Chain A
Amino acid sequence: MSLRSLQEESVSDRLVKAQLSQVFFLVPFLVLLVIFFRHQVLHTSEYSLHSEENRLRRIDLPPPRGLITDRSGRVLAENIPSYSIELYPQPLDSMRTAIKKLSPLVRLSIPQQEQFLEKYRRQRLVPLTVAMDINQKTLAVVEEHRSEFPGIFIRSDMKRSYVYGEQLSHILGYVGEITDKELEQPRYQDYLLGSLIGRSGIEARYEDRLRGERGVKFIEVDARGRELGPFQDRVPVLPKRGRDLQLTIDIRLQQAMYEIMQQVEIGAMIALDPNNGEVLAMLSKPTFDPNLLTVGITGDQWRKLQYHPKKPFINRAVQGTYPPGSTFKPFTALLGIELGYIRGDGSGLEVTCRGGIQYGERYFKCWEHSGHGKVGYHQAIVQSCDTYFYQLGIKIGLEKFCELGRQSGFFEKTGIDLPNEEAGLIPDKDWYNRTYGIGNWGPGNVLNLAIGQGEISVTPLQLACMYAYICTAGKRYRPHMLLDDKEKYQMPPPEIDPARVEWLRAPLTGVVNEPKGTARGSRLWGHTRQMAGKTGTSQNPHGDDHGLFVGFFPADDPEIVAAIVVEHGQHGSTYARLVRDLMLAYIDITESEKTPAGSLAAGYDP
């Protein structure tokens, strides 16, 4: 044997071949070593990071929104748990299987399944939400079979819940998920996909305060996305709840207003405290249920609300502008007082009403065709005599009327802390020239303006503020929704002697309480304190006239001012009744508050 091998092959031959092959074998090993060195020594930090990220799942903990309460702390908006089903990123095939397995539970049609898959294809790194706000039964079933669904995760969220539903929808607004477009804006840089954001009302106005600070926790997952528990090396950050807000609203008065306004189809009502500008109640009709909008509203449902002909999303109390009609007469009277045409002792302007006056080429009618006879400012307001105010308007003159009107500030935005407030309009020379063209209008327009018709318009809120000024004889406050420091809402009043503003109290009380008053039907019978106010009918070129009434109570030392506008309601006197009902509700509420408090105080009195 050994002989044979020696014959065929020399020993040195084999040595050369062996050494060469050993070198050949060594080379790939060295190459491998270099590569492993590169991965494990030079680039180890990147891979370590990747390895940690592999098993680390960051879960954002959205902060609970602050609560919203009424002025006595009753909860108006709160957070209640809501559960949604999510699937974690995983290979497409297993995602498809998971969706398919889940579909009978959360009722997904085949096109919906495809939609979710498509969504996942586009965003491979974020968990896919397949069902939101699931009910308790589904939750129980999914929890029970959790292990059968790879990568499933039940996220518990807080859902915004509006306790009084549609009664407060225009005040509180609602929350919704932030849109992709908003996320691109720098002001929303702290928000994430799926973050909730206030969409209107208080929720939008005080988003910064209500929102709170997001927290985060870290959990460990395996390759299939299954959770294994908290990630040991990273400390979770707890979310911080947003600040609670206390509103000036009194929910009992709001509820009363809601009941009263059931009789009105389209319109708005607002009640505020004239002594500090606090809004006590506010309602706009038609209204909507904000709870529908917080989660899971379908596009169809939303469009239905958005494009509804009666525009339920509009808060008519601050966004609707209407000619104030006769409710504006006290303001014209105020201008008369300021210019000396009206005096408290009744020695000022007197007019004999024969059912209207001729001015230039036009005859201006008084609503009372038979005429009011001889009237001073008192009776002119009580009976709402148009002729008197035509005359007063002529005396003031268009230019002065508009100038003083503007200066008063009552036609500017009130600055209430609600989004999208609208301002009314008081025209002036420039405005007329712009709108009608030079020479196409005349000084006669002042007659219309003097009785609150024509181009002039206000929001119900502006109207209430004007009356708050009148009825407190010159105090002015910025109307507001947030119950806090009263001082900061004080505003400089127009420069009229408060004693002279006081002259309007008697005629406004007369409107409701005198036999000839236009709102005498709404007198508070059997009460020692009385309501005062003024009716109004605003001409509407597009249909039936709007009916208005502004009232305050008690007439001699007002605590509450309320304004109502009813679209196509025709006569303001009809709606004085609704304001009266609100005042009755106010009396009930304040008296129920005083009685126990009073007895308590008596009990502790030494």
Chain B
Amino acid sequence: MWLKRYDWVLMSLVLVLTVLGILMIYSADQIQTAHTTRVAHYQRQLVWLVLALAACIAVSSLSTRSLEVISYWIYGITLTALVMVLTAGKGVERWLQIPGINIFFQPSELAKISTILALAAYISNRKKRIEGLKDMILPFIITLLPAGLILAQPDLGTTIIFFFIVFVLLYWSGLRLVYLFLLISPIISFFLALVSLLGELRFPLWGLFFILLGILIFYNRIFLMDAVLIMLANLVTGVLTTSLWDSLKPYQQNRILVFFQPERDPQGSGWQIIQSKVAIGSGGLFGKGFLQGTQKKLEFLPAQHTDFIFPLVGEEFGFLGVALILAMFFFLLYRIVELARISSSNFASLTAFGIAGFLLGHILVNVGMTVGLMPITGLPLPLFSYGGSFLLTCYIAVGILQRIYIERSSL
């Protein structure tokens, strides 16, 4: 029986986090206000957990070899589903009904796994290492197809996760660190340009970065073509940001600023961040106690059983609760990285590491959002947030990880 050969440390972490999540969802359901009938979210999540566990076990029965073989097929099916969501839905729908059953599913969640598998399959089957921009064309196409379709839904948060995934996989494939830095340099340029615009100094900060970038490229012997492309990308980003910004109307500028700094709009999106911080801060060291969160009870926390479930941990269990959960999440990721290290094949190793990156992205964006570090993008917290599709996705990922563990190399 292969269940006995599971990584039970990993499995325990996953299960404990899920159960804690369901407890928090139960708490989020306890609202004091006089409402009409409310949905018992925790019960639904329990049902989803059973389904997810079944999926996990089923997936873990598939060998990584067969996964590798069908990975492109899965990828293709996912893309089709994403297209269907766009055409069938009325524009903002993210859901797809599974034919025959009254179950709705978000293909964008599953797309994360299938993209990881497809990227892992591609990278592990390359004859040569990925060394320059030219080698990255295909990985980026594999990422951009689902990411673009999801952005069109529109779901910015999930799109960000796709870039996270391809980024960590490129790292794991052995791409030089300097290249990774060059890849994100246009993003840095964008922010520096924005910061320069808002501060009194208009050009200097971004300009300085641009010069340093040039020196970095020069001393690291980057392919000439790549160097030119990257410098060009940075230049265009910096200049475009500056000129586009000036052409925007004040209210448009304001909207962008509010996206990055919600506190600027305390009645609108800043409301969520302020109330989230108040919930977290008022929890103190030990918290107000399970079910005792007043911010939660009185519905000051928006989306408290989904995207903003983590402030509830902060409010009811304080800093100690937060530290414990964050430690468990980190340990989970640490464990997955270890798994990636000892995987028997490059495909399995890349898949494991991709899953770690995908989880990391979700955790950082979600938790960062609750304290105002990240813009509000609507990304759920893995294993914790209410939501069937995402829980299922996480457990499928866990199933794959268990299979990789079972097949690990003895070294």
Chain A interface (Cβ < 8 Å from any Cβ of B): 1-2, 4-5, 8-9, 11, 13-15, 17-18, 21-22, 25-26, 28-29, 32-33, 35-37, 39-41, 43-44, 46-48, 50-52, 54-55, 91-92, 124, 147, 220-224, 226, 228
Complex Cα spacing A13 to B368, Å: 32
B337→A39 contact, CB < 8 A = no
B contact residues around A15 at 8 Å (CB): 341
B409→A221 contact, CB < 8 A = no
A contact residues around B168 at 8 Å (CB): 21
A43→B281 contact, CB < 8 A = yes
CB distance from A73 to the nearest CB of B (A): 47
Known: A25-B360, A51-B294, A220-B298. A44 touches B282 (CB 8 A): yes
Chain B interface (Cβ < 8 Å from any Cβ of A): 32-34, 65, 168, 171-172, 174, 267, 271, 275, 277-285, 294-295, 298-300, 314, 318-319, 322-323, 326, 329-330, 333-334, 337-338, 340-341, 343-346, 349, 353, 356, 360, 364, 367-368, 371, 373, 407, 409-411
CB distance from A223 to the nearest CB of B (A): 4
CB distance from A36 to the nearest CB of B (A): 5
Complex Cα spacing A1 to B279, Å: 51
B299→A224 contact, CB < 8 A = yes
B contact residues around A50 at 8 Å (CB): 278, 281-282
Known: A32-B326, A228-B33. A46 touches B345 (CB 8 A): no
Say whether chain B's binding surface is mostly helix, strand, loop, or mixed: helix
Complex Cα spacing A22 to B279, Å: 30
B267→A40 contact, CB < 8 A = no
A contact residues around B278 at 8 Å (CB): 47, 50-51, 54
Known: A9-B346, A222-B298, A223-B299. A36 touches B371 (CB 8 A): yes
A221→B298 contact, CB < 8 A = yes
B299→A47 contact, CB < 8 A = no
Q: List 25 A-B contacts (CB under 8 A).
A: A1-B345, A2-B409, A4-B346, A21-B171, A25-B337, A32-B368, A32-B373, A33-B323, A36-B280, A36-B314, A36-B323, A37-B319, A39-B314, A40-B318, A40-B322, A41-B319, A44-B281, A44-B282, A54-B275, A54-B295, A54-B300, A55-B298, A223-B298, A228-B33, A228-B34
B contact residues around A92 at 8 Å (CB): 267
Contact pick for B319, options A21, A36, A51, CB 8 Å: A36
A2→B344 contact, CB < 8 A = yes
A40→B298 contact, CB < 8 A = no
CB distance from B156 to the nearest CB of A (A): 20
- Listed from nearest, the 7 A-B pairs whose CB atoms lie closest are A47-B281, A51-B282, A40-B319, A222-B298, A18-B341, A44-B284, A39-B281
A228→B32 contact, CB < 8 A = yes
B411→A222 contact, CB < 8 A = no
CB distance from B267 to the nearest CB of A (A): 6
CB distance from B70 to the nearest CB of A (A): 17
Contact pick for A33, options B326, B373, B410, CB 8 Å: B326
A47→B280 contact, CB < 8 A = yes
B contact residues around A2 at 8 Å (CB): 344-345, 409-410
CB distance from B52 to the nearest CB of A (A): 24
Known: A22-B334, A33-B326, A44-B284. A222 touches B340 (CB 8 A): no
CB distance from B311 to the nearest CB of A (A): 10
Determine the residue in chain B with the shortest Cβ distance to A13.
Answer: B174
CB distance from B169 to the nearest CB of A (A): 11
Contact pick for A48, options B281, B329, B343, B349, CB 8 Å: B281
B contact residues around A54 at 8 Å (CB): 275, 278, 294-295, 298, 300
CB distance from A263 to the nearest CB of B (A): 63
B281→A40 contact, CB < 8 A = yes
Contact pick for B34, options A8, A35, A43, A226, CB 8 Å: A226
CB distance from A156 to the nearest CB of B (A): 21
CB distance from A23 to the nearest CB of B (A): 10
A39→B280 contact, CB < 8 A = yes
A32→B367 contact, CB < 8 A = yes
Determine the residue in chain B with the shortest Cβ distance to A53.
Answer: B278
Known: A18-B337, A36-B322, A226-B33. A51 touches B279 (CB 8 A): yes
A contact residues around B360 at 8 Å (CB): 25, 28
A contact residues around B364 at 8 Å (CB): 28, 32
B contact residues around A43 at 8 Å (CB): 281
CB distance from A21 to the nearest CB of B (A): 6
Determine the residue in chain A with the shortest Cβ distance to B313.
Answer: A36
The interface centre, meaning the residue of A21, A50, A147 with most chain B CB atoms within 10 A of its CB, is A21
A contact residues around B298 at 8 Å (CB): 54-55, 220-223, 228
The interface centre, meaning the residue of A32, A52, A147 with most chain B CB atoms within 10 A of its CB, is A32
Complex Cα spacing A25 to B373, Å: 17
Complex Cα spacing A107 to B45, Å: 48
The interface centre, meaning the residue of B34, B271, B284, B338 with most chain A CB atoms within 10 A of its CB, is B284
